[in-house]
Amino acid sequence: MQFAPQSVPRFRTSVVILVFAIVIIGCRSNPPSNQQNGKPAPKALSAMSDEELLEVVETFSTDVGEPGEDAWKQLQSYSRQELIDRISKISEEPDQDDFVRTNIAFLMCNLDQDYESNRGIIVSAFNQSPDTAELYEAQLDRLIRRGDKGLLQVLFEITPQSDGALSDGLAETFAYQIKTDTEGFLAQLRSQPRSTRSQISDFVNSAISDQDKSAVRSFLRSIPETSQLANLAKEVESDLSQVKFN
């Protein structure tokens, strides 16, 4: 069998096109070295200006969505000690803004670096005024979710003075804590006066779903009479039986 004279060039052309297509597909499937998961790769810490680094720290400290998660991954990718040394030096600048210092303190808490002193910086900023406390409530909420349940006391104590966005933030924090760690929440709540406890229950009532509230009330009813939390559990269960107004 013989190929027609024009068959060989056409065959060669097809092979060339196929190889070219494979090369193009391969290039597209391998992102440039300066990208990770389709996003620009973060700069090396040594290549970042202080302003750029502080911007990443602020995003992590104030954003609970994907940008905040990406910022945290970027910060974790650096040498821990190099990052701590660099950020500590920035924080110690005499004219440094208090909001920047608080964002840095929040990062340090998440790095478990001088936790108590950095925790204190955030608490101090939060307690400075109910008018600005909302700026730091979310940071305290995140530290509580991380395991620092004692910070609930800080939030409880400001509850009677709160309103607006701060009240909304507190309500979300309390609702989450009572449904995920009911006994731990009661253990912190028991030291507060009845008026504050009642207001906290109102906050929970405003932020919790009917399904979650039903589950919490069932758990509260299951706490045995011999428990030190029994009377408080009955009180909160009764408070949460009230009709929720939005």
Per-residue pLDDT of the chain (246 residues; tens, 9 = 90+): 444 455 545 545 454 444 444 444 444 445 444 555 556 677 899 899 999 999 999 999 999 999 999 999 999 999 999 999 999 999 999 888 889 999 999 999 999 999 999 999 999 999 999 889 999 999 999 999 999 999 999 999 999 999 999 999 999 999 999 999 999 999 999 999 999 999 999 999 999 999 999 999 999 999 999 999 999 999 999 999 976 554
Domain assignment present for residue 91? The answer is: yes
Q: Whose CA is closest to 131, among 174, 167, 97?
A: 167
Domain assignment present for residue 178? The answer is: yes
Q: Dig out the tokens for 173 from the structure.
A: 């924090």
Q: Dig out the tokens for 104 from the structure.
A: 């840095």
Domain assignment present for residue 73? The answer is: yes
Q: How high is the pLDDT of residue 172? A: 97
What span, in angstroms and rounded, lies between the C-alpha atoms of 222 and 233? 9
Contacts of 19 (CB under 8 A, 6+ apart): none
Structural domain containing residue 68: 45-128
Q: Which helix (H) or strand (E) holds 228?
A: none
State which of 74, 95, 128 marks the end of a domain: 128
Could you give the 3-state DSSP secondary structure of residue 35? Answer: strand
Domain assignment present for residue 157? The answer is: yes
Q: How high is the pLDDT of residue 10? A: 53
What span, in angstroms and rounded, lies between the C-alpha atoms of 169 and 51? 29
State which of 93, 128, 163 marks the end of a domain: 128
Question: Domain tally for the chain?
Answer: 2
Domain assignment present for residue 244? The answer is: yes
DSSP tag of 39: E
Same-domain status, 169 and 112? no
Same-domain status, 169 and 98? no
What span, in angstroms and rounded, lies between the C-alpha atoms of 75 and 53? 9
Task: Confirm if 237 and 220 have CB atoms less than 8 A apart.
Answer: yes
Same-domain status, 116 and 208? no
State which of 65, 96, 128 marks the end of a domain: 128
Task: Name the phi and psi angles at 36, rounded to 5.
Answer: -135, 120
Same-domain status, 154 and 121? no
Same-domain status, 244 and 158? yes
Q: Dig out the tokens for 206 from the structure.
A: 């405003």
Domain assignment present for residue 133? The answer is: no
The pTM score is: 0.81
Same-domain status, 161 and 244? yes
Domain assignment present for residue 4? The answer is: no
Same-domain status, 114 and 157? no
What span, in angstroms and rounded, lies between the C-alpha atoms of 212 and 218? 10
Same-domain status, 156 and 123? no
Same-domain status, 165 and 100? no
Same-domain status, 225 and 163? yes
**How many angstroms from the chain centroid is the CA of residue 35?**
25
Same-domain status, 109 and 189? no
Domain assignment present for residue 112? The answer is: yes
